[in-house]
Amino acid sequence: MNQFALCSVKGAPGTTTLALAMTSALAHDLGDAAFVEADPAGGDLAGLLGLALDPGMASLAAASRHQSVSPDVRAHAQALPAGGWALLGSTDPAQASATIATLASRLSQSLRAAVPAAVVDCGRWGSPSPTAGLLGSATATAVCVRARVPSIEAVRVRARDLWEATGGRVGLVVCGDDPYGADQLEAATGLPVLGQVPGDPRACKALIGAGSSRVDRLLLIRAARSITEALAALGRDAPATSLAVAVSSNGAKR
């Protein structure tokens, strides 16, 4: 079972959209997949989809307060318009963080027993973070970034923390146009580039049930499928013992 974690370190580069696209691609390929909204800052998906927050992550945590209880994730899931199902996060940051802390590593274990693949949207990464356990138990983690100097610099200064939190199973996904090459981003951050996500308004609408396009044929879904394959390959490879590239103290150059 593959469990992919996604996060960002600055701004809103499109992490949730990519997580939905990956879930849709996995559901079409495997017959089933889960999306987990584990953003400590609070979730947005219920509002986008017009769904209730209950059932979701909060109800799952309430039913799993005792450490001896194995969370029944499917009992708290809701179907997604473009395939797969979701555990929706609370919109309240305090409750969202408490929910993630309550479920901790048991969530990853329960997902493995319930579904062939899962995508966990961890929101914006910070250290320390209640999502550290989710990144540590994931097959691999994608850090979503826009290829702009401030965003690249934000990744660079957090690269070692991300590397340690994921056991080295971490790479970058560029969201939007990329004025730099993959080799430049890797040299600036020390992290490998796993792929690029194109702008695709039709796919964005389809993912939230607002469009009629065949989801599996859309450009964004094809890109998401490629990124899941890159993450799976990264998870299979033994990580290096240290960051792959020595990062310059000057960061990314214009």
Encoded tokens for 3: 């469990």
Tallying the residues shown for the chain, one arrives at: 254
- How confident is the model at residue 218, as a pLDDT? 86
SS (H, E, C) the chain: CEEEEEEECCCCCCHHHHHHHHHHHHHHHHCCCEEEECCCCCCCHHHHHCCCCCCCHHHHHHCCCCCCCCCCHHHHCEECCCCCEEECCCCCHHHHHHHHHHHHHHHHHHHHHHCCEEEEEEEECCCCCCCHHHHHHCCEEEEEECCCHHHHHHHHHHHHHHHHHHCCCEEEEEECCCCCCHHHHHHHHCCCEEEEECCCHHHHHHHCCCCCCCHHHCHHHHHHHHHHHHHHHHHHCCCCCCCCCCCCCCCCCC
The pTM is what? 0.91
**Maximum separation of any 2 CA atoms in the chain, in Å:** 53
Residue 213 has pLDDT above 70, yes or no: no
Does 210 reside within a domain? yes
- d(C-alpha 192, C-alpha 179), whole Å: 17
Does 202 reside within a domain? yes
Does 250 reside within a domain? no
Does 137 reside within a domain? yes
Residue 7 has pLDDT above 80, yes or no: yes
Specify the higher pLDDT residue, 208 or 60: 60
Does 242 reside within a domain? no
Domain span including residue 141: 2-236
Does 251 reside within a domain? no
Residues of the chain above pLDDT 90, percent: 69
Does 245 reside within a domain? no
- How confident is the model at residue 251, as a pLDDT? 44
- How confident is the model at residue 243, as a pLDDT? 62
Specify the higher pLDDT residue, 212 or 208: 208
- Domain total of the chain: 1
- How confident is the model at residue 6, as a pLDDT? 98
Give the model confidence (pLDDT) of 63-92 as tens digits: 888 766 677 899 999 999 999 999 999 999
Residue 60 has pLDDT above 80, yes or no: yes
Does 253 reside within a domain? no
23 neighbors 138 (Cβ within 8 angstroms) = no
**Domain of 149: which CATH number?**
3.40.50.300
100 neighbors 123 (Cβ within 8 angstroms) = no
- How confident is the model at residue 212, as a pLDDT? 59
- d(C-alpha 144, C-alpha 12), whole Å: 9
- How confident is the model at residue 221, as a pLDDT? 92
- How confident is the model at residue 244, as a pLDDT? 52
Is the previous residue joined to 55 through a cis bond, with omega within 30 degrees of 0? yes
- How confident is the model at residue 238, as a pLDDT? 59
Of 15-19, 142-146, 177-181, the one with minimum mean pLDDT is 177-181
Give the model confidence (pLDDT) of 113-156 as tens digits: 999 999 999 999 988 889 999 999 999 999 999 989 999 999 99
- How confident is the model at residue 253, as a pLDDT? 41
**Contacting residues for 72 by C-beta, under 8 A, at least 6 apart:** 60, 63, 110
To 10 degrees, what angle do helices 15-30 and 219-236 make?
Answer: 80
